[in-house]
Chains A and B, each alone.
Chain A
Amino acid sequence: MNLDVVHDIQTVYRKLVTATSRPGTLVVLEREAKTLGVQIECLSSTILLARTVLDPEVTFKVIAKEEEAVSRMINQLTYSKPVELPEADFIFILHDASEEQLKEALNHAKVGNLLNPHESAMIILEVPDVTKGDSMILSGPGIQQESIITLPNATSWLGARNEKNREFPLGIDMYFVDQQDRLIALPRTTQIKGNGGEIIWDMLQ
């Protein structure tokens, strides 16, 4: 079965709305991902998200070993233009990006300005498993008091995220996708605390 660009994209969008409005909530894109068939360069969920939000009106950047090939594919699918990091509206950081590349991407992502905080980047980050890794406590809008989630490699992105989101409403919104086509969103409003102090990050990074 092929991807239905009207109805499948609509369900992906509704799941994105659920994930964004309830940070830390796991949503599953498995059904929609299956319509894409086997993907080689990046995860199916990444393509689904790209097809849901990208078009010629916005720009993107891919961080990956095969950056050029993936950029070309996304461009052909959506007609969106690849640009440099500081200008990109959407930044796709694929599973094979190195820790340095990930940190650099987050450091250079745009956060908007106080007049237009919506002119900020949305980060789509591929991870091995959105249910395994460092335990953390979330709070903020969309979360009833607190919720506990686990996300992988927190040390490589949490410090940069905190730095970027220091001055609300400026900041970046992060979306984590994994190989099982599951998605978790951490918009800029979400406050993250280490659960039991396992997470150590360097604020200067």
Chain B
Amino acid sequence: MNKTYNFAFFDEGSKREIRRATLKAIAIPGYQVPFASREMPIGRGWGTGGLQLTLSLIGKDDVLKVIDQGSDESVNAVNIKKLVSDTTGVRTTESTADASLIQSRHRVPEVPLQRDQILILQVPLPEPLRNFEPSEQETKKLHAEREYSGAWLMLFEQIMKYGIMATDADHPVMVHDRYVMAPSPIPRFDNAKLDDSEALILLGAGREKKVYALPPYTNVSSLAFDDYAFEIESFTNHACILCGSNDLFLDELVDGESGETYFQCNDTSNCLEMVNQKQISGVK
């Protein structure tokens, strides 16, 4: 642990400011609370929002897991983990079940979250209405008036153009029947995990200086029409090449040599656990 820094990198004043914003965010689910967003030793847009939330929350007894698009071992995840453990000395883990704080970029872990865990999502663009309204003042007004016809129209136009809602990731959700919220670029597959979650979910956007939250057991529904239902990514007839799962979110990859496509779990730590479990039961 590097003791030349204050515990958890920040000075106490910075933590307090983020903490106040976070408490307000939890009290108003789905509402984007502005905060000061400190300069961080990583670039804005590389997870500084999530990192600031993590640093404001973390204590000596926490166990931290950081994932980047499902992977514990990608550069972004490794560097964030290093920064936090260097300045706090907390234990890091790859196992979702062991972690008390889970910072994630663009995925909700496959292992169901528990009551005593907090999921922190990194958010590049927190404003779900930004696509059609560039002014922050105007989008604030739209949220204030619960005027979301633009968000619906955006989906309607996609259906007109492509025959389906083509949002891919970051499909907007309605929170507590009040605010339309960007769930961060998680795949549509993960949207359902936000609804009625066991764990508190915090979302932080460092560059855009916003934090927002989903308390546990909050009603979160993906925007959809009566005749065009919300659909998740389909992996019918495909299974993970390593663990054989066919009901999880899979990545489509191409074998460099043979040119064939194959599928593999996106959540690497969960995949590894499944493979290990299979081997253990195989030995028996």
Contact yes or no, A141 B33, CB < 8 A: no
Q: How many B residues, CB 8 Å from partner?
A: 42
| In the complex with contacts A53-B20, A55-B13, A188-B60 CB distance below 8 A | no
Contact yes or no, A189 B27, CB < 8 A: yes
Residue among A13, A116, A187 with most chain B CB within 10 A = A13
Residues of B near A11 (CB, < 8 A) are 59
Interface majority SS (helix, strand, loop, mixed), chain B: mixed
Residue among A10, A21, A117, A122 with most chain B CB within 10 A = A21
Contact yes or no, B21 A118, CB < 8 A: yes
Q: Does B38 belong to the interface (CB within 8 Å)?
A: no
Residue among B16, B145, B213, B218 with most chain A CB within 10 A = B16
Tell me how many residue pairs across A and B have CB atoms closer than 8 Å. Answer: 100
Contact yes or no, B57 A20, CB < 8 A: no
Q: For the complex, what is the distance from the CA of A189 to the CA of B19, rounded to whole Å? A: 19
For the complex formed, measure the closest distance between the CB of B236 and the CB atoms of chain A, giving whole angstroms.
Answer: 33
Q: Which residue of A lies closest to B24 (CB)?
A: A118
Residues of B near A34 (CB, < 8 A) are none
Taking CB atoms and an 8 Å cut-off, the chain B residues in 207-253 that contact chain A are 213, 215-219
Interface majority SS (helix, strand, loop, mixed), chain A: loop
Residues of B near A3 (CB, < 8 A) are none
Q: For the complex, what is the distance from the CA of A187 to the CA of B140, rounded to whole Å? A: 22
Q: For the complex, what is the distance from the CA of A52 to the CA of B18, rounded to whole Å? A: 11
Q: For the complex, what is the distance from the CA of A168 to the CA of B20, rounded to whole Å? A: 19
| In the complex with contacts A115-B140, A117-B31, A7-B16 CB distance below 8 A | no
Q: For the complex, what is the distance from the CA of A58 to the CA of B176, rounded to whole Å? A: 29
Q: For the complex, what is the distance from the CA of A11 to the CA of B62, rounded to whole Å? A: 11
Q: For the complex, what is the distance from the CA of A13 to the CA of B15, rounded to whole Å? A: 10
Q: For the complex, what is the distance from the CA of A113 to the CA of B6, rounded to whole Å? A: 36
Taking CB atoms and an 8 Å cut-off, the chain A residues in 20-71 that contact chain B are 20-22, 52-55, 57-58
Q: Does A16 belong to the interface (CB within 8 Å)?
A: yes
Contact of B215 among A9, A21, A54, A115 (CB under 8 A): A21
Contact yes or no, B12 A9, CB < 8 A: yes
Contact of B178 among A10, A122, A168 (CB under 8 A): A168
| In the complex with contacts A114-B145, A188-B28, A53-B178 CB distance below 8 A | no
Q: Does A76 belong to the interface (CB within 8 Å)?
A: no
| In the complex with contacts A5-B12, A7-B7, A142-B216, A57-B144 CB distance below 8 A | no
| In the complex with contacts A20-B27, A141-B218, A173-B27, A58-B22 CB distance below 8 A | no
Q: Which residue of A lies closest to B32 (CB)?
A: A118
Q: For the complex, what is the distance from the CA of A70 to the CA of B173, rounded to whole Å? A: 45
Q: For the complex, what is the distance from the CA of A14 to the CA of B22, rounded to whole Å? A: 11
What are 6 inter-chain pairs, A to B, with CB distance below 8 A?
Answer: A13-B15, A21-B213, A118-B28, A169-B178, A189-B28, A189-B215
